[in-house]
Structure 1
Amino acid sequence: MFERFRKPFTPDYDHAQADLQLRSARDRATAGDWTAALYLLQTTGRDWELRSRRLAVLGIAAGHAPHWVDAWEAAIPGDPTVAILRAEGLTELAGAARGAASARHTSAEQFQEFHRLSALAAAAAQRAVELNPDDPYPWVTRIDAMFADGHQRHDDFRIALDGAVARDPFHFEAHLMAVSFLCQKWYGSHEQMFAAARGPAAAAPAGASVCMLPLLAHFEYALREFGFETRAESLAAKMEYFHRPEVIQEIAWCAGKWRAAGEPRLIARGVTLRHWLALANHLSGQDRAGTRTLLAHIGSYLGSTAAYGYFWMRQAEGFEAVSKWARQ
């Protein structure tokens, strides 16, 4: 009876998720006060994971509304952070031009624009690398720009990955990019993908975000092997894979190591990783009570959690399905 009176499911799609300081700074910047973004990044310091996430979200805004970055550059010519935002903005536009559909459902015109913008992003990312010698994130942006021609860029990919991890050995975005680049649907294989996920997860200290990367590898594997084109229609086969004992065991290991240093923070990648774990629990049928706790931490913050789209046609549909399961 009470389900009839439950509030409608209204996810929050803001890419900043729980980082309210980031939301405020981005909104002030796009409204004309670019110094808000500058100050936010200055106060972030050398917290590389948080800085990277904030740069990524600001970069989305830079791609679609670059006027505030233009004003920043006019006020501080040659600012290294502006170079990162330029590269991120072009990468965002390249991804938007291609779209999220599989290759067979992507037009030649979409691919052409994806390649054109990716080439511009690659040049901008290289400039950002040169202007930010200590920061690992421009190297990640450089990898991101390689997705348009990755078959010819494996050597460059390795150089860029090495550049990022030389500055931060367990940099989440760098290793996340490696898992994505080396998955079978892009430029690698299942074996390469799992190695890219499990290696840093095993080597990292307790509490590191990279401890959760094997979950993404399992999502990618299930997507590719059990209905790449059909998504939700093949959900039963994908869920059967997640019921395998070895998969359940690895999910539990990842979650345990991630939490071993205390409750992970919500900002940076904290919300996304909670989504991953809630999704893995749902698919494997494990820890419904624990998933309710995860969802209480998440609240309505969805942002863009691409893993839901591996199993449902819309991310919000997956978020709602996991939430309903947890409440049962």
Structure 2
Amino acid sequence: MSFFRRRAGEDAQAGERGRRAFGFGRKAPRALPPVLDLSHGDAELRELRALADAGDWAALGPALAAVPDQAELTWLLHRISDVEGIEGWLAETVAERPEDTLALLLSGARQIAWAWEARTGQRAQYVTDEQWQLFHERLDTAEEQLFEVAEREPSWLGPWFFLQIAARGASLGRSVAGTRFEAALRRDPAHLASHQQRLQQLCAKWGGSHEEMHAFARTSMLAAPEGSPLGELVALAHLEQWLDLPDGEDHAYLTGPAVRAGLREAALRSVLHPGYRRRRDWRATHNAFAMVLSLADERELAHAVFATLDDVVTDWPWYYLGGDEAENFRAHRDRCAAR
């Protein structure tokens, strides 16, 4: 989820706001601090990211090809694609092995992440002409490569997931983004990450509205069986509206009775439901629920979610609070434990 980051310049204000609102600052009761883990506590992903960083496609390619589940493969590729600097050896690999569709898919995913690195997290008016040019050039390359993958492997989920991100970045419009979302769902109707991308497309900051966003989140949750991770969409929608509100109004919004009731329902229907089963990407979902429930002052439920994480901190969504992600996690965890 590295494409959802709060704009630069707002991080410090948001972090201070969160600490001030909840009176953080007490000494942590635990001896060992939580740890930010870009591999989300997944040992295999950690090894794969190391192979990518080393440019070892001879080992990385077969390891990825052995992953049978398309949702898991897409998640792994997404997390590997943000390893800085891999675009160089990927370009060489694609040129030397044009028949290697998996290498082409990872290259397309990397081009998107690389495009956002060029754009930076600045507000649009602070992005230079050169940065915009690089951003769009890299997105164009991604589109070309991903459509080639989709043509070669019609059953693959990955290209349609990444094409949703590219469509939003290139401002191709809601119709194009919607078509790509539907294509992803034809390959995996319950794909959480694709639903997250659609939620972003419906956000006010991307030309949608709070009403559309919340309607999509709730409808998706209720259409899925209880125990589905799609309940996270409700939490993310409330988080997005919180991010859009000024200081003071944001806290009042998340702690309002209706929002708290919606968050309780979403948590109890998904990550805290007896029928819930953890997927490879479960720690990001649990981190998201832990943070939003804590911000909403639902300490008991937040504590229950924190307890599942063994202090594994994912960068998203804690970077929304500004400052150090692991410290943000610790402060909220300890406050909820002392409820």
TM-score tier, shorter chain, comes to 0.7 to 0.9
Q: CA distance change for structure 1 residues 181 and 134 in 2, over 3 Å: closer, same or farther?
A: same
Stretches (4+) displaced over 6 A: none
Number of the residue aligned with 1:231: none
Q: CA distance change for structure 1 residues 71 and 101 in 2, over 3 Å: closer, same or farther?
A: closer
- Equivalences for residues 83-122 of structure 1 within 5 A: 83-122=104-143
1:216 aligns to 2:236 (yes or no):
yes
Number of the residue aligned with 2:72: 50
Instruction: Give the structure, 1 or 2, with the largest relative contact order (CA under 8 Å, sep 6 or more).
Output: 2
Q: CA distance change for structure 1 residues 149 and 34 in 2, over 3 Å: closer, same or farther?
A: closer
Q: CA distance change for structure 1 residues 6 and 200 in 2, over 3 Å: closer, same or farther?
A: closer
- Equivalences for residues 108-257 of structure 1 within 5 A: 108-150=129-171, 152-224=172-244, 226-227=245-246, 234=247, 236-257=248-269
Give, in whole Å, the separation in 1 of the partners of 2:107 and 2:64.
Answer: 15
How much does 1:272 deviate? 0.9
1:37 aligns to 2:60 (yes or no):
yes
Number of the residue aligned with 2:22: none
Q: CA distance change for structure 1 residues 90 and 322 in 2, over 3 Å: closer, same or farther?
A: same
Kindly indicate whether the alpha-carbon contact (under 8 Å) linking 2:34 and 2:329 is maintained by their aligned counterparts in 1: no
What do you get for the CA RMSD once the two structures are aligned? 2.6
Q: CA distance change for structure 1 residues 60 and 138 in 2, over 3 Å: closer, same or farther?
A: same
Number of the residue aligned with 1:271: 283
| Structure 2, unpaired ranges of 5+ | 1-25
Matched residue pairs, number?
312
Q: CA distance change for structure 1 residues 207 and 50 in 2, over 3 Å: closer, same or farther?
A: farther
How much does 1:12 deviate? 2.0
Normalized against structure 2, the TM-score is what? 0.82
Number of the residue aligned with 1:230: none
Normalized against structure 1, the TM-score is what? 0.84
- What letter matches 2:110 in structure 1? G
Q: CA distance change for structure 1 residues 68 and 26 in 2, over 3 Å: closer, same or farther?
A: farther
Write out per-residue CA displacement over residues 152-183 of structure 1, whole angstroms, 9 at most, x where no aligned residue: 43221121111101111121111111111121
Number of the residue aligned with 1:260: 273
How much does 1:314 deviate? 5.2
* Identity over aligned pairs, percent: 24
Give, in whole Å, the separation in 2 of the partners of 1:31 and 1:312.
Answer: 30
Q: CA distance change for structure 1 residues 77 and 123 in 2, over 3 Å: closer, same or farther?
A: closer
Q: CA distance change for structure 1 residues 87 and 157 in 2, over 3 Å: closer, same or farther?
A: same
Moved more, 243-252 or 86-95: 243-252
Kindly indicate whether the alpha-carbon contact (under 8 Å) linking 1:170 and 1:200 is maintained by their aligned counterparts in 2: no
How much does 1:185 deviate? 0.7
| Structure 1, unpaired ranges of 5+ | 228-233
State the secondary structure of the residue aligned to 1:3.
Answer: coil
Number of the residue aligned with 1:20: 43
Give, in whole Å, the separation in 2 of the partners of 1:218 and 1:103.
Answer: 24
